[in-house]
Structure 1
Amino acid sequence: MPETRPLPETRSPRGGRDTGVDALRALAILGVVLGHWLVTALVADGPAALRVTSPLKTMPELAPISWALQTLAVFFLVGGYAAGKGVRPGEAWAPRMRRRLARFARPLPVLAAAWLAASAALSRAGVPAGTLRALVDLVVSPLWFLGVYVVLTAAAPAVAAAWRRLGPWGAVLLVGATALADLGRFALGAPGWTGWATVLTGWLVPFYLGVGWADGALGSRRSGLVLLAGGTGAAALLVRYAGYPASMVGVPGEAVSNLSPPTLAAVAFGLAQTGLAFLLHPPLARWTRHARAGAAVSAANRSAMTIFLWHQTALMTVTVAALLTLGALPGLHTAPAGPAWIAERLPWTAVFAAVLAVLAALVRGFEGPRRPERDANHTANAVAGPYISRRVP
């Protein structure tokens, strides 16, 4: 296993936020949003009918897009880091979980109410039931992430205790458990449902390493290089010789997805992402010393939940509204049949982003009270903290 002596870290004063970790989280949310906007194609099958497909289905050579934009392991890594920093010996479990669950649960009824109203309006406008089901599925399907994240966060004290007892070898055991689940599912004829155990074992790997990182381990350059090289090599071997899909996201019509449930290849890929995150952390912390970069990272972190919940709605708002008013448009409603579709699609991401900004402004007031003083301190730490930071050995 890689040695665990950490690199010197840049810390904000008075126990403030680690802006390098915040930058990693912001990059992860950017990857998820762009990934969904680029690989989700809603193809017009009539004046008001849409079907869901993906350019990865018709152009499998685009699989490297999924390598760059499937950033879930980074989310779980920084989630484990934050959870590890938040574990306090003797702290009552229930109040801690109530605070965290409120952050996740409060925005969900707003999203549900909005889509109940939108579904009724679209049905009256003549949108077929099959199209409505496809649209709602695009909203609901990413929410699995929140459930897994909440479970792992609830287990953070136990994960921290496991780290103190097992160290990096705990990650080896989790990778082994994922490998056994895949072996049973793909080679030994075990029921398919047994593979869903990897939803916990697989995503617990980066979360566990994040807890270890928070404990002062694993942040060294050597650890980053070993995880990056080892994870990349293992993922490549699994794709090349074990038959795992090259795409790190699901492709419609494919028999096996690396994400539903996560496979050993996805876990290996996540280890590579973890190593890259360790290597990027110091330069990202330095980058956030620039006022504009620090403010942008701070804003992205404060709005991460809103962005995650509403980015698919932004895509569908543009797609459905344009179809009903303007008809089928290139890159928005056309089938991803060739490279020209990518060039036609890219400009639409700017439109999706603008609509997402509007939606975020509209729902902000319904997602619970904000704490302006906390947000102001968060921004100040992001912008000014690195200038007056100290090196922690």
Structure 2
Amino acid sequence: MTAQSYRPVRAGRRPMPGLRELTRRVDARTPSDRDRAVDALRALAILGVIFGHWLVSAVVEAGRGSLQGASPLQYMPWLAPLSWIFQTLAVFFLVGGHVAAKGYQASRRRGVGYGRWLGGRLARLFRPVVVILGVWAVTAVVMLLSGTPLETVRTLLTLVLSPLWFLLVFALLTALTPMVLRVGPLWPLAVVAAVDVVRFGLGGPAWLGWVNVVAGWLVPYALGAAWARGRFDTRRSGPLLIIGGVAAAGLVIWGGYPASMVGVPGAPVSNLNPPTLAAVAFGLAQCGLALLLREPLRRMMTRPMVWAAVAAANLSAMTIFLWHQTAMLAVTAMGLLSGPLPGLHTRPDDLGWVLARLGWLPVFAIALAVCQAAFGAAERGRAGRPSKGGARNACEEPSHV
């Protein structure tokens, strides 16, 4: 044995395991009864929202050194089909309803009270929110004291904090889970249709549309609860829900609804704020597709490397969601040091901007990874700390979204 072939390991220290070994450990520690397809659908929904925001959100100079938000959908409405792909909130609520219903049923069997069950879920949901609100409160004060225009501060805070609206809706629906288990998705769907008829057909007040903020997202949430009760175990369930996509297309073509499934600055009507019948019907199609993908995803999740990536994404799901706009803005701010850069500071009004923005996506992802490393512990809390038996991982954590 030569000196080069033998490398002693210092006493008390273990060699770092390789990537293959880490993925094998994650796979081995995953309970055999865990439905990995659910975690995969959640990860896909989160990635859809993130990349959708990165593609349709831009910051441009508005004069006098101030910045304002812009969207390529303002200038290139033919890009609206992108919103059909990346507006995946319906899948998020579908998975959330499924996981909440499963968790509530399990807690009942264990004798855990409703208050304790709800408190645990809401604590994990809002713990990382406190961190980002604190960081941006300090950031906003520093910017204002340093002379940053108020319009710029308002634009940045809007981009960062506007996605948080869904957490309040999600928390409310989570609290209503026992009721949702007894109420099917057809009732909230009927409410959404009735509200739109009054708003758009009978000239009713615009504020009535905000009823759909709860009713609209209750539809996929209730579908998830029905899934937890075994209502969608047949192969016909997915195709039947996909018919909702046909209904959504009909509402866009003949009903006068916008083609974009996300809000467009300056547009008189938004399909998302508040949700319209077109957005809810489109969400039904997404939920149907998600149900059809369950078996392929289960097979894919048997690969340790793929499952480890999905498990890691789920462990930091809320952190990734909360900080993705901050990551984009951090890159945008640092880019200003080199002057206006295409796809980052320029007006999103042509195909060149889209191609340039695609090139920035990996940079945004790196910045998001830094944010996750810095603030991910707030989401995991005590559950993320190593135990005496060894480090815990995503597959051991109860899903909270």
TM-score (norm 2): 0.86
Q: 2:331 aligns with which of 313, 318, 325?
A: 318
The alignment partner of 1:161 has SS state of coil
Contact 1:38 1:345 in 2 (8 A): yes
Larger Rg: 2
Code of the residue aligned with 1:248 in structure 2: it is: M
Contact 2:58 2:70 in 1 (8 A): yes
Is 1:328 equivalent to 2:345 in the alignment? no
Code of the residue aligned with 2:169 in structure 1: it is: V
Q: How does 1:259-270 map to 2 (within 5 A)?
A: 259-270=272-283
Structure 1 pair 381/291, CA: closer, same or farther in 2 (3 Å)? farther
Contact 1:41 1:336 in 2 (8 A): yes
Is 1:278 equivalent to 2:291 in the alignment? yes
CA distance in 2, matches of 1:95, 1:350: 41
Is 1:81 equivalent to 2:98 in the alignment? yes
CA distance in 2, matches of 1:279, 1:380: 26
Equivalent residue number for residue 85 of structure 2: 68
Q: 2:224 aligns with which of 192, 199, 210?
A: 210
Structure 1 pair 316/212, CA: closer, same or farther in 2 (3 Å)? same
Structure 1 pair 84/92, CA: closer, same or farther in 2 (3 Å)? same
Contact 1:17 1:381 in 2 (8 A): no
Code of the residue aligned with 1:288 in structure 2: it is: M
How many residues align? The count is: 362
Where in structure 1 are there 5+ consecutive unaligned residues? Answer: 1-11, 163-169, 383-393
Structure 1 pair 343/284, CA: closer, same or farther in 2 (3 Å)? same
- Give deviations 1:45-89, integer Å, cap 9, x for gaps: 358421111001100000010000000000000001101111234
CA distance in 2, matches of 1:380, 1:260: 36
CA distance in 1, matches of 2:229, 2:32: 15
Is 1:340 equivalent to 2:357 in the alignment? no
TM-score (norm 1): 0.88
Greater CA drift, 125-134 or 57-66: 125-134
- Give deviations 1:91-113, integer Å, cap 9, x for gaps: 42111111011112211221112
Is 1:292 equivalent to 2:292 in the alignment? no
CA RMSD of aligned residues (A): 2.0
Identity %: 52
Is 1:34 equivalent to 2:51 in the alignment? yes
Offset at 1:161? 2.3
Is 1:190 equivalent to 2:204 in the alignment? yes
Code of the residue aligned with 1:37 in structure 2: it is: W
The alignment partner of 2:165 has SS state of helix
- Give deviations 1:289-311, integer Å, cap 9, x for gaps: 11110001000101100011100
Q: How does 1:132-147 map to 2 (within 5 A)?
A: 132-147=153-168
Offset at 1:337? 1.3
Structure 1 pair 267/320, CA: closer, same or farther in 2 (3 Å)? same
CA distance in 2, matches of 1:127, 1:211: 47
Code of the residue aligned with 1:21 in structure 2: it is: V
CA distance in 2, matches of 1:202, 1:98: 25
Structure with higher RCO (Cα < 8 A, 6+ apart): 1
